[in-house]
Amino acid sequence: MSDRFLYRGAAEDLRANDAQWRAYESTGHCVLLAGPGSGKTKTLATKLARMLDEDVEAPRGLACITYNNECAREIEQRLDALGVSRSGRVFVGTVHSFSLTQIVLPYARSAGLGLPDDFEVATEQQQRQAFERAYNRVAPGPQTPASWRFRANRYRRTYVNRGRPEWRETDATLAALVETYEAELRALGTVDFDDMPLLALRALAENGWLRTALVAKYPILAVDEYQDLGTALHSMVLGLCFRAGMRLFAVGDVDQSIYGFIGAAPDLLRRLSERDDVETIRLGINYRCGSRIVTASEYALGEARGYRASDGAPEGTIYFHPKAGTSADRARFLVGELLPAIQGRHAGLRLGEVAVLYATASMGDEVADAAAAAGIATVRTDGNALYPRGSRLMRWLEQCAVWCCGGWRTGRPRMANLVEEGCRLFRDVVADEDGRVVFRRLLVENLWAHRDAAASLHDWLADMDAEIVRPMVERVRTLAEERETLVAFIARLHDGDPGAMALGDFSGIGIGADRLNLSTLHSAKGREFDVVVLFEMDEGKLPRNNPLQDELREARRLFYVGITRARKEVHLIYGMQSPSRFVADLEQRLAGSG
């Protein structure tokens, strides 16, 4: 079978699951409601490959919008494995990237967006300074600008149609603050990330020809994690798919909506799935979790969904660990007693298959300190990580480091994959075959000259920045923020914090196989592990004290997401006298079910 038709072999694996097969066979607007571990990414990727081959005639293509860069990366890798070539026919990326690269950058002038031709994406420092100036003009007072910025950004995401009365009537001060902040950005010749979908939505709403042009280029729009993408994306979908003629294939799960604090609205997916002109399909088999964990997850959610484990799945186990003492005491118990016991039950279990999840990054500090004292390596994906793990640039550099630290001998990762990922990352510059050839030569020369795991990480990153990253980013307006992350990390290494790291240490982060995963519950979404430890599951921490009803529902969904990350074991650690109401309810219901 040629590479072009590899998806047909993958599709045969979907036949045994009636819901997955129905989604694969769908021909109109389709919403796939996919619970945890239900094979939704495999179904989505196979469906994308089929639609591209059978339903769209070249040079037209399709666009797939994802929640974050990690989701985009996984879908791209799956499409690679199905033989889908990376060409201009396929867009895979976040709603911000889609808005910027497919609408705002190419059409800003003709769509009348009022942006200068050479506008750039504002760095975090520029955004912070612009907001401070706006705050001082609109709402000066004893509070800090930072305390208003979160509220202002959420307001922007919630009220996307500024022509409606509620834009000003709901909170006139926030409306004025947002408008003044955006004016400050424009004075700098910049936009920020929240601007991107808002400007794209405005351009589409005011220009019928633009909607026609976009449908001509991408007659099919796929959306992953629909419940997390907010009001602006939903408005785009309504306009492009139900008025302009794009075909929609959307995937999501209302029960995994955990980003309400930044504007996610699960009811948007629910309403979409209830439309008469949409075929709605629910995936009901959990292929990830043991049967006992599936049962526990529905108890954790507080609502029956009818999910079941796959045939032959192991039972899985839920452990409760009420512990007296402080948070630091419980962290020492986790590292010194619980982790060895887990490894004793599972011979050969790698630390990379164990995750410790918690509500806030500060809780992870206790576990990180206890692990460091015990000589256990960790990798963090929370606000206190060495750098944001969602940065595609940093993840690419991690993989380049892996190649330099022995990957060049084993072929893991392959140089071809590093080149492909780099070409996607810098696609505005590496736009044709000649550009790819030049980029490959530059990358090979630099990595080949730095094959030394003991080399200074600071020097290696500084060289990569000077030789490859900086020259590329200077011509890619979408990557300024990511390079700022890199530059800040290089500066930290130079200052001696977090210590004199070697290139091999950095490559170990990239591999992650022998490091204990530390993550907030939010950052763990979309991931899976053999064993999950939910740390500090106390009342007042999850949920927080005196939550509003919407906050309580979202906290329960967050608890549910944490439990469903595990294949084999779930461990809940909490104060002996202060278990979360979710933990107490789960223990009682599991005991009652036998």
In single-letter form, the type of residue at position 343 comes to Q
User: Has residue 387 been placed in a domain?
Assistant: no
Omega of the bond leading into 547 within 30 degrees of 0 (cis): no
Both 421 and 546 in a single domain?
no
CATH at residue 211: 3.40.50.300
Both 493 and 407 in a single domain?
yes
pLDDT at position 419 over 60:
yes
Question: What is the C-alpha separation between 312 and 315, in angstroms, rounded?
Answer: 9
User: Is 83 annotated to bind ligand?
Assistant: no
Give the count of domains, the chain: 4
Q: Quick one: which of 255, 110, 295, 242 has its CA closest to 561? A: 255
User: Is 34 annotated to bind ligand?
Assistant: yes
- What pLDDT shows up at residue 496? 55
pLDDT at position 85 over 90:
no
Reported confidence tier of residue 515, pLDDT bands at 50, 70, 90: confident
Single out the residue in 258, 283, 308 at which a domain terminates.
283
Reported confidence tier of residue 478, pLDDT bands at 50, 70, 90: confident
pLDDT at position 343 over 90:
yes
Residue with tokens 């629909």: 226
Determine phi and psi for 592, rounding to 5 degrees.
-70, -25
pLDDT at position 512 over 50:
no
Both 271 and 233 in a single domain?
yes
User: Is 273 annotated to bind ligand?
Assistant: no
User: Is 352 annotated to bind ligand?
Assistant: no
User: Is 340 annotated to bind ligand?
Assistant: no
Both 29 and 101 in a single domain?
yes
Both 405 and 486 in a single domain?
yes
Domain that holds residue 178: 120-188
Both 249 and 128 in a single domain?
no
Determine phi and psi for 531, rounding to 5 degrees.
-130, 135
Residue 387 gets the label, from left (phi > 0), alpha (psi -120 to 50) or beta, of beta
Residue 379 or 23, more confident:
23
Helix (H) or strand (E) holding 320: strand 317-323
Q: Quick one: which of 381, 350, 400, 357 has its CA closest to 514? A: 350
Both 208 and 86 in a single domain?
yes
Reported confidence tier of residue 216, pLDDT bands at 50, 70, 90: very high
Distances (CA, A) of 313 to 43, 116, 289, 300, 342: 20, 57, 8, 20, 20
Residue ranges with strand state E in 162-287: 190-191, 220-223, 247-252, 279-283, 285-286
Reported confidence tier of residue 142, pLDDT bands at 50, 70, 90: confident
Return the ∠ at Cα 232 (arms to 226 and 238), rounded to 5°. Answer: 75
- What pLDDT shows up at residue 370? 97
Question: What is the C-alpha separation between 332 and 360, in angstroms, rounded?
Answer: 18
Mean pLDDT of 71-90: 83
Both 81 and 216 in a single domain?
yes
Both 76 and 138 in a single domain?
no
User: Has residue 112 been placed in a domain?
Assistant: no
Question: 562: buried, middle or exposed (CB in 10 Å: 19+, 13-18, 0-12)?
Answer: buried
Single out the residue in 470, 491, 507 at which a domain terminates.
507
Burial 424-443 (b: 16+ CB within 10 A, else e): bbbbebbeeeeeeeebbeeb
Question: What is the C-alpha separation between 173 and 394, in angstroms, rounded?
Answer: 38
Residue 352 or 85, more confident:
352
- What pLDDT shows up at residue 1? 44
User: Has residue 386 been placed in a domain?
Assistant: no
Query: Is the four-CA dihedral 393, 399, 405, 407 of positive or negative sign?
Result: negative
User: Is 40 annotated to bind ligand?
Assistant: yes
The end-to-end CA distance of the chain, in Å, is: 50
- What pLDDT shows up at residue 118? 86
| Per-position DSSP letters for 23-58, written without gaps between them | HHH--S-EEEEE-TTS-HHHHHHHHHHHIIIII--T
- What pLDDT shows up at residue 495? 64
Question: What is the C-alpha separation between 352 and 581, in angstroms, rounded?
Answer: 30
Question: What is the C-alpha separation between 494 and 496, in angstroms, rounded?
Answer: 5
User: Has residue 242 been placed in a domain?
Assistant: yes
Query: Rounded mean pLDDT of the chain?
Result: 91
- What pLDDT shows up at residue 494? 73
Reported confidence tier of residue 509, pLDDT bands at 50, 70, 90: low
Return the ∠ at Cα 517 (arms to 516 and 520), rounded to 5°. Answer: 145
Residues pairing with 285 in the sheet: 308
User: Has residue 133 been placed in a domain?
Assistant: yes
Question: What is the C-alpha separation between 91 and 318, in angstroms, rounded?
Answer: 41
User: Is 39 annotated to bind ligand?
Assistant: yes
Helix (H) or strand (E) holding 145: helix 145-158
Three-state DSSP state, 319: strand
Single out the residue in 483, 507, 531 at which a domain terminates.
507
Contact (CB, 8 A) for 197 and 233: yes
User: Has residue 82 been placed in a domain?
Assistant: yes
Of the given ranges (501-505, 518-522, 545-549), which has the lowest mean pLDDT? 501-505
Q: How many CA atoms lie within 13 A of 399 on its CB side?
A: 19
Both 494 and 400 in a single domain?
yes
- What pLDDT shows up at residue 86? 60
Highest mean pLDDT among 301-310, 320-329, 506-515: 320-329
pLDDT at position 431 over 80:
no
pLDDT at position 88 over 80:
no
Mean pLDDT of 168-187: 95
- What pLDDT shows up at residue 513? 54
User: Has residue 168 been placed in a domain?
Assistant: yes
Both 409 and 461 in a single domain?
yes
Reported confidence tier of residue 165, pLDDT bands at 50, 70, 90: very high
pLDDT at position 4 over 90:
no
Determine phi and psi for 86, rounding to 5 degrees.
-85, 105
Reported confidence tier of residue 387, pLDDT bands at 50, 70, 90: confident
Both 59 and 204 in a single domain?
yes
User: Is 35 annotated to bind ligand?
Assistant: yes
- What pLDDT shows up at residue 424? 81
User: Has residue 147 been placed in a domain?
Assistant: yes
Mean pLDDT of 562-574: 98
